[in-house]
């Protein structure tokens, strides 16, 4: 492993694609940081770093935002964390395979705030659609594409 390769940072507490991220990162020899508020069972590998942060609000997000570099890849569905990673020049994927982009992050933040307001006022309830096999497949394809693109830029 060389340090000029991109690293992968997974916001791991509720991430449904941890196995897929490990598989793609391992295939390319990339360092993978699994960041969570609690210990989780992970395979032993010199390429997998388990990072357990305090239970503090946004502690995992803060650790990722402080350690991610330009060209690295973040996996998260947390929109404010995605914005922080994009500011540092990282690539950001949602677990369903969609990318957060610099062009779209402002709208994503605005929609997040609007939806939170509508939930708070009782105008809407419930969450998004269930995570399925197609989402997992889209993530694998998108992760592979992002890794290839990040490696070409190195």
Give 87-125 pLDDT, tens digit per residue. Answer: 999 999 999 999 988 886 666 666 656 666 666 777 777
pLDDT at 128: 67
Most confident range (mean pLDDT) of 10-14, 66-70, 109-113, 146-150 is 66-70
120 Cβ contact list (under 8 Å, min separation 6): none
Other Cβ atoms closer than 10 A to 34? 23
pLDDT at 2: 42
Whole-number mean pLDDT of the chain? Answer: 87
Average pLDDT, integer, range 52-76: 93
- For the domain 8-153, what is the CATH code? 3.40.50
The full DSSP string for 8-54 is EEEE-TT-TTHHHHHHHHHHHT--EEEEESS-------TTEEEEE--
Give 58-68 pLDDT, tens digit per residue. Answer: 899 999 999 99
């Amino acid at each position: 492993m060389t340090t000029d390769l991109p690293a992968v940072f997974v916001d791991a507490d509720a991430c449904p694609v941890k196995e897929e991220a490990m598989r793609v990162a391992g295939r390319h020899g990339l360092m993978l940081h699994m960041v969570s508020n609690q210990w989780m069972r992970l395979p032993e590998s010199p390429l997998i770093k388990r990072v357990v942060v305090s239970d503090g609000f946004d502690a995992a997000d803060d650790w990722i935002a402080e350690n991610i570099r330009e060209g690295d890849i973040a996996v998260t569905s947390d929109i404010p964390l995605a914005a922080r990673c994009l500011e540092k020049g990282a690539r950001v994927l949602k677990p369903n395979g969609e990318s957060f982009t610099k062009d779209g992050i402002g709208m994503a933040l605005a929609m997040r705030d609007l939806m939170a307001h509508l939930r708070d006022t009782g105008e809407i309830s419930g969450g998004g659609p269930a995570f399925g096999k197609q989402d997992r497949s889209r993530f694998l394809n998108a992760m592979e594409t992002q890794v290839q693109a990040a490696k070409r830029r190195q």
